[in-house]
Chains A and B, each alone.
Chain A
Amino acid sequence: MTAGRAIDVVVGGLGGQGVLKASDILAEVVFSAGFDVKKSEIHGMSQRGGSVTSDVRFGQEVLSPMVPEGEADYLVVLAADQIEPNRHLLREGGTLLEPSLIDAASLASPRGLNVALLGALSVWLEKEENVAGRLSVEAWENAIRSNLAPKIHDQNLEAFAIGRRAAAERTAQE
């Protein structure tokens, strides 16, 4: 890939689930950490409940804004029935972060799933050689605040923490 290997994340789900919000938050976090970043998606009909995906690529230098098929390092999926239609985007050995990772009952609202899975992603990203130490929890929290309405800050920060705990448990098992 590119110099210093870019990291490719695809977020997928259904319109209205906050796919684009999740990728906006991720893009902002890596952007403020000084990475080159490109984020791409198709929207337009996304409000009408159809499948949506959004690509975020970051690293020292990113070229195409689209994650090539079969090259995503991470696939974050917000709806169980959207895993299969998106699986081909993931590279061999890439990481799938799916809804079952999060205990839905622990979320204040099902709409927090996007941010909860970002919490999980944040734990995995810390293990990436090029990322380690560059994305603080505080930076994530700032990006969550700046992308969401104040009214839902607390529940989303909580969702983020839930996601981090879930990922920590999972990665400890691995």
Chain B
Amino acid sequence: MSPQDATEDRLLLSGNEAIARAALDAGVTLGTGYPGTPSTEILETFSALGGRAQWAPNEKVALEVALGAAFVGARAVATMKHVGLNVAADPFFTAAYTDIPGALVVVSADDPGLASSQNEQDNRRYAVAAGVPMLEPSDSQEAYDFTFEAVRMAEKWRMPVLLRVTTRICHSKTIVRPRKAPIDKPEPRFERDARGRVMIPAHARIAHSRLRRKLGEIADWTENSGLHRTLDGESSLGIVASGVVAAHVREAAPQARVLKLGQTYPLPIQAIREFVRSVDRCVAIEEGDPYLVESIRAEGIAVEGKAAMYRFGELNVSRVRRILARDESPEPEPPKGKPPELCKGCPHRTAFETLRDMDCIVTGDIGCYTLGVLPPFQAMDTCVCMGAAIGVGLGMRHALPPEQARRVVSVIGDSTFVHSGITGLVEMAYNPPSTGHVVLILDNGTTAMTGLQDHPGTGRRLDREPADKLSFEDLARSIGIQDVHVIDGPGDPVAFRRLMEECLASGKLSVVIARRPCILAVARDKKMEQA
């Protein structure tokens, strides 16, 4: 953004709030996504500011909805956490081939250090794999500015743009000066373009070479795009960095010359080459995978990287100092804090106490209830990705000897069930294990883990307006599951245990829906009613 566009306003915003604010100011007409830490507040803020924001059942659907809007000329943003892009990867890769008149901005919020995630995958790899340009803000001001830039680039090259942020960008508040006036919104309208949007092989072959041509143009353009900045310093040490790491670097090595990259795919190779030439020692410092180092070296530019131990976890000022000192001595373990636990009075508690006492084999899933793996329950045996409870449970049932197979229960939360459990249930009806199977849906009426978001099973939309309510019991029956039980709670542990024992012994396919609201959601709703 050129400085004359900035206003006098000075706001203290998180990166997520800045993205939401920029989306509004940049004329985004639709924000869609699925909750996931650290991305969740983007859409919540966008909605609170008056933007149209909606939760999709999962990230794949969200990305498709955003793509549809962009196909008719609108500006759309799809938000998700890093693993969400795995779910949305299918449309993401082929959307890159298509010709998009509007703007499609995909926000991927990565979680190096696993503050609240099941892995620390580095989604910069997705930009390369799919051929989607990627911007990486280093603070909230850049989160704001780069959201604008992403919209502009998406429209200029008629392709998706990936805005890649990390936990520390999403959840840190820094000062933002927003722009003067919102830019105009385009008028959406349909124009037929089968070659650009119907990816049959004949069209896709052409589209693939068009994509590579666009990426070549962007690689040239980015060199002088203003997205990259050299911060002057002594020529003895140069550091290439992006995102929040650039801020750590400036503090850890104030004397160093820094090349701060705002766009990390395609990379500004000429600028990097000149920068490396201008210093005696050049180190690329990055969180996660050795992506910058490998990409820069592949261009024949000699650059130093970090030791392997710094691939794990977040970076911070002290770790950057250690990387620069080539210090590979073991790092002190930070003292252990108190781990989270299920709230007192959480309806999930009885479920896990019972499963523990029954010595079930529990294929679990992701949500608050994953805490069932910790003491005092220790009643979860697998947890891999959203929805996996059902598929993994079925696989175990197929492979285990019958006396063990009969102990297997799949446990899944309501939001997770809608996200990706439904297809698992279809699989169960289609390929039933010979011992039957039991799926326990812990329906607390909210997406509690990520901060109490609504979903298609809660009867409310993101803006809390009433919506159609998906009935899990009707859905299960229509899929072909005959034995469906809806219970309160489980409020009564004795009755719950009896029911579970009956289902396990029956050899049938059973779905047990344990329904009782999350106590934090109840408190939140009460507060909102009073207000």
Binds A, one of B261-269, B282-290, B339-347, B433-441: B339-347
Residue B115 at the chain A interface, CB threshold 8 Å: yes
By the criterion CB–CB under 8 Å, are A64 and B251 in contact? yes
Interface residues of B (CB under 8 A from A): 10, 12, 37-38, 115-116, 139, 167-168, 171-175, 244, 247-248, 250-251, 316-318, 334-343, 368, 371, 449-451, 520, 527, 531
What residues of B have a CB within 8 angstroms of the CB of A27 in the complex? 12, 173
- Residue of A14, A42, A65, A85 touching B244 (CB-CB under 8 A): A65
By the criterion CB–CB under 8 Å, are A64 and B317 in contact? yes
Residue A144 at the chain B interface, CB threshold 8 Å: no
- Residue of A38, A42, A46 touching B167 (CB-CB under 8 A): A42
What residues of A have a CB within 8 angstroms of the CB of B244 in the complex? 64-65
By the criterion CB–CB under 8 Å, are B338 and A66 in contact? no
By the criterion CB–CB under 8 Å, are A68 and B316 in contact? yes
| Nearest neighbor of B530 in chain A, beta-carbon distance | A151
What residues of B have a CB within 8 angstroms of the CB of A14 in the complex? 338
By the criterion CB–CB under 8 Å, are A44 and B115 in contact? yes
- Residue of B37, B250, B340 touching A50 (CB-CB under 8 A): B340
By the criterion CB–CB under 8 Å, are B337 and A50 in contact? yes
What residues of A have a CB within 8 angstroms of the CB of B175 in the complex? 31, 36-37
CA of A38 to CA of B244 in the docked complex: distance in angstroms? Answer: 12
CA of A49 to CA of B341 in the docked complex: distance in angstroms? Answer: 6
What residues of B have a CB within 8 angstroms of the CB of A1 in the complex? 251
What residues of B have a CB within 8 angstroms of the CB of A31 in the complex? 10, 12, 175
| Nearest neighbor of A3 in chain B, beta-carbon distance | B254
The distance from the CB of B362 to the nearest CB of chain A, in whole angstroms, is 19
By the criterion CB–CB under 8 Å, are B337 and A63 in contact? no
The distance from the CB of B176 to the nearest CB of chain A, in whole angstroms, is 11
By the criterion CB–CB under 8 Å, are A51 and B337 in contact? yes
Q: Which A residues from 48 to 93 make CB contacts under 8 A with B?
A: 48-51, 62-66, 68-69, 81-82, 84-88
What residues of A have a CB within 8 angstroms of the CB of B338 in the complex? 14, 49-51, 81-82, 85
What residues of A have a CB within 8 angstroms of the CB of B38 in the complex? 44
Assuming A40-B173, A50-B341, A88-B335, what are 13 further A-B pairs, CB within 8 angstroms? A27-B12, A28-B12, A31-B12, A38-B174, A39-B12, A46-B340, A48-B341, A51-B339, A64-B247, A66-B317, A68-B316, A82-B337, A87-B335
CB pairs A–B below 8 angstroms (7 shown): A37-B12, A43-B171, A48-B340, A49-B343, A50-B337, A66-B317, A149-B531
Residue A173 at the chain B interface, CB threshold 8 Å: no
CA of A44 to CA of B447 in the docked complex: distance in angstroms? Answer: 12
CA of A168 to CA of B59 in the docked complex: distance in angstroms? Answer: 53
By the criterion CB–CB under 8 Å, are B317 and A48 in contact? no
For the complex of A and B, 6 pairs with smallest distance between CB atoms: A51-B337, A44-B116, A50-B340, A48-B340, A44-B37, A65-B172
By the criterion CB–CB under 8 Å, are A63 and B173 in contact? no
CA of A88 to CA of B335 in the docked complex: distance in angstroms? Answer: 8
Known A14-B338, A40-B171, A43-B171; contact A63-B116, beta-carbon cutoff 8 A: no
